[in-house]
Amino acid sequence: MRHVSATEAKQALSRLLDAAQREPVVIQKQRRDVAVLLSMRDYERLTAMNVADFQDYCDRMSQRARERGLTEETLDTLLRDQV
């Protein structure tokens, strides 16, 4: 993974956009990592993974709720009482 300063990133954006197609580019400000420039393909892959992870989490919580006796009717009643 390549690291560049914010100043260099401003001066060489076009070159860094090309570099980001091969690997993420970390942008630093005052020697601290503050951002990452990555390809659209990598971004889409990461967001898809996040969605899949969240769906897996929801499925696991739903299963645990069913195992503990929570039904859709009970959930509807609980949610309706909160409004």
pLDDT at 40: 97
**What is the arithmetic mean of pLDDT over 55-82?**
88
Q: What is the mean pLDDT of residues 56-67?
A: 92
Q: What is the CA 73 to chain-centroid distance, rounded?
A: 33
pLDDT at 76: 87
| pLDDT band (50, 70, 90) for residue 81 | confident
15-53: pLDDT as tens digits: 999 999 999 999 999 999 999 999 999 999 999 999 999
